[in-house]
Structure 1
Amino acid sequence: MGEHGATDHTPALGRMRRFAFVTIRHSGASQGVTVRSQQEGELMVQRVRARWAAGLAVAAVTGAVVVPTVDGASSKTVDSTAKVKGLPSFSGTVSGKPYGSGKVRGRIDLPNLSATLTYSGGTVRIRGTVSDASPVKGTWRTTGGTGRYRNVKGSGSFSGSLSGTSATLRFRGRIKP
């Protein structure tokens, strides 16, 4: 039993039974409500609960639409150049959109290409298929990532030139995040 002999443990109802003035905060503004009787107080609690439930339902529906937009942020253009040495296993640098400068390590076993691109926020793993060797052309897709890029999704094409055991490849496409 509560302080007034009530068994209802609802905080809002308990406060209304104890006080004649209740402050409801909504969007930073205060609004005063005078409660004249316990019945009016309980009716007010029911209305508040109904509004809260309706607001929660709207938030749940809106969240279902908004959350994927936030988590799956809009895709970005990929326009990066990788300069590598040491074919078939290679290492080198990558620079360009959308992630800036980083390092790349990977392997080309014609027609397959696999690489890990390392940036300050994490890594992006890609796989590709070389469709033409002179000049080099092919397609790529992401296979995963770490850190900031753990949910990365993307694909595109690449082209470039091979010279002995080095290559310069330009990657284009779309990626998110």
Structure 2
Amino acid sequence: MVKRKKVQKETFEKYKSIEYLADEEKKLFTVAFDKMRNAYAPYSNFHVGAALLLEDGTVVGGSNQENASYGLSMCAERVALFSAGANYPNIPVKKLVVVTKNYDKAESNKGHDNCILAPCGACRQVILEYENRFGSDIEIYLMDSNKKIYKFDSVKQMLPFAFGGYFLK
């Protein structure tokens, strides 16, 4: 008989709304919502924006970019991270905010009254790569359909059994 073990549940901080955040995080939400308007999503109409705060105070944004061949599309989180990596290669990422305009769509399709837009598996893996690259965690801020904010100290809280470069050495 196989003995089952529970996966450790991680914790996060929950805020009632953006108003409870520091000005630095509020600015990131503003940038993320602004970038969301630049999303190219003609097929899914699923618009996502992301904003990063780099260690030197630079803010980098991104939006999802779709392709008719969905596998070639790029999520907002990766657009922002790859832009930061290309333009600021030696500056660690401190914070990431992800937003969408499609909370109502998620609620009606899933029957939930509280849907959180969280990074997909590929984005989680890329976020982890940036954490490992610089040896520092990236705080992640997400919003739910009721405008509540969820703060995670690291992507490791969302990706407990991650694949890392240490497997390749």
- TM score, norm. by length of structure 1: 0.21
Return the structure number with greater helix share: 2
- Whose Rg is larger? 1
